[in-house]
Structure 1
Amino acid sequence: MIVRIISGIGVVVVVVGVLLFSNTIVLNIAVAALSVACVYEALIATKYVESHALMFASLGIAALTPFVMGFSKSTVMLLMFVYVVIMFLLVFKNFETFKLEHIGVVFLISVIIPYFFGNIIFLNHMDHGIYYLYLIFIGSWCSDSIALCAGKLFGRHKLIPKVSPKKTVEGAIGGIVGTMAGYAVTGVVVERCFELQVNFLALLLLAVGVSIIGQVGDLAASTIKRSFQIKDFGNVIPGHGGVFDRFDSVLFIAPFIALFAQFFTIFL
């Protein structure tokens, strides 16, 4: 547990350090690195990529997507179109060894992960974007941490035991409450320290959604791991596993906040 806490603090320091340079290319590079790491770990877990060229193409789109998310939607679509063409050219070349269902999984991983993470860049381009970026990670950390503590202290009823045996209904509820508390504190800090008006009703509504979506992301990652019979996606973060293990909830939270922000204004 101590190793997990120390590693977690290290991750927080790195993330905050990157966010301090959110108005520079540092953020794009960091999101690209995050996308590449998660795509690589997920593809290695599936063991579906037997071609080095396909792996290179998949990591390539993972690296490029965060750099084009700030441009038009047509630019993103063009990038994905090029990847699809390259992928099928490789399938044609190695038709006897590739399986269509494997290609579908590879495509899903290689496109969805960088596109979802790319919403971090999209949010950064919005008015008051830096505050939305902090909401992504505060929501993830509050939901994960409080859900874990609540589950250990009060957990009695299993949430989805076939997917994640340790997760409980009580832990899930605790995660929602913890995220609401974390967002409420964040809203107060933003109002008092940065002189912005905060729509607390929208903020707390977002907190509920963020916690639920974040837990869905966690369960989605658990489903992949169970399907391919692995415990973790890697071991680069002691006590947490791989990069994907640590950022699985962020993967789902980022696009959810980006979508929410299109309909509700939080920072005025």
Structure 2
Amino acid sequence: MKQRVITGVVAGAGFLGIIILGGHFFAGLIFLLATVAMKELLAMKQIRVMTARGFAGFFLMWLLLIPDSYINFEAFAYERAEFFLLLLIVLLALTVISRNKWTFDDAGFTVLASVYVGFGFHYFHYARTIEEGLMHVILILILVWSSDSGAYFAGRKFGKHKLSPSISPKKTIEGSAGGVVLALITGTTFLLFMPLFNSWLVSLLFMLTVSLVGQLGDLVESAFKRHYAVKDSGNVLPGHGGILDRFDSLIFVMPIIYLFGFL
């Protein structure tokens, strides 16, 4: 527990400091976090980094991750999405060229993992670059962390009905509700001092979306770990597991709130 607290305080302070700095510092941190997260996913599938399969995964993820301001696709013959589609066709063709040493399952995992990590961290960086981006990111972090903490303590105190026992046996419906309640309390308090939206209805929808989708993101990563029979995604953060263990909710939330028009 002591190690967990120390790691949380030191890593959290450093993380918040770089978020405040923004710019190239934040972009560099996002690149590093996404790269480590992709490595963790590949390790679950027992794909080594220094292989063609590993390189393909990283390349696809980086293609989706890199901010628009850092790469000019007008210099190429294809848009980002078109280039990604071209690479997908190449991956599928490799199943034939390699005589199924590179399987359809390998190709599917590589694509899904790159989209999950790449887009998740891409929109995390994007959120920091918009108007009042720093406050948006801080609010999202508060909501995600409050939801996680509220679910943990409410689940321990009141939890009786399992939320998804086949994926995460300890999570309960009561815990999930507690997470939403604490997220609404902390989010409302923040927005009273730093209003970011035009109406309280939009604010409420935003807070509910972040809390509920964040909890879903946590379950998605739990499903990965259960499927591949691993306890933690990695050990880069002593006492906390891997990068995916800490950012699973956040990188699931970011593309959704972008698609819903909150960013």
Report the TM-score, using the length of structure 1 for normalisation: 0.85
Aligned partner of 1:122 in structure 2 is 126
Conserved 8 A contact 1:235-1:242: yes
Matches within 5 A, 1:1-268: 1-22=1-22, 24-48=23-47, 52-70=51-69, 75-81=79-85, 83-84=87-88, 87-88=91-92, 90-191=94-195, 199-260=199-260, 262=261
Q: What stretches of structure 1 of length at least 5 have no aligned partner?
A: none
CA distance in 1, matches of 2:140, 2:64: 19
Residue 20 of structure 1 aligns to a residue whose secondary structure is helix
Conserved 8 A contact 2:39-2:49: no
CA distance in 2, matches of 1:21, 1:203: 26
Percent of matched pairs sharing the same residue = 31
Conserved 8 A contact 1:123-1:133: yes
Conserved 8 A contact 1:176-1:212: yes
What's the CA shift for 1:50?
Answer: 8.6
CA distance in 1, matches of 2:14, 2:248: 17
Between 109-118 and 48-57, the greater mean CA deviation after superposition: 48-57
Counterpart code for 1:60 = F
Q: What stretches of structure 2 of length at least 5 have no aligned partner?
A: none
Cα distance, 1:143–1:102 mapped onto 2, change above 3 Å: same
Cα distance, 1:93–1:151 mapped onto 2, change above 3 Å: same
Query: Deviation string for 1:36-72 (max 9, x for gaps)?
Result: 1111101110125697122123223333433234579
CA distance in 2, matches of 1:50, 1:37: 11
Report the TM-score, using the length of structure 2 for normalisation: 0.87
What's the CA shift for 1:163?
Answer: 0.5
CA distance in 2, matches of 1:204, 1:76: 34
Instruction: Kindly tell me the number of residue pairs found equivalent between the two proteins.
Output: 258
Conserved 8 A contact 2:144-2:214: yes
Residue 239 of structure 2 aligns to a residue whose secondary structure is coil
Cα distance, 1:33–1:245 mapped onto 2, change above 3 Å: same
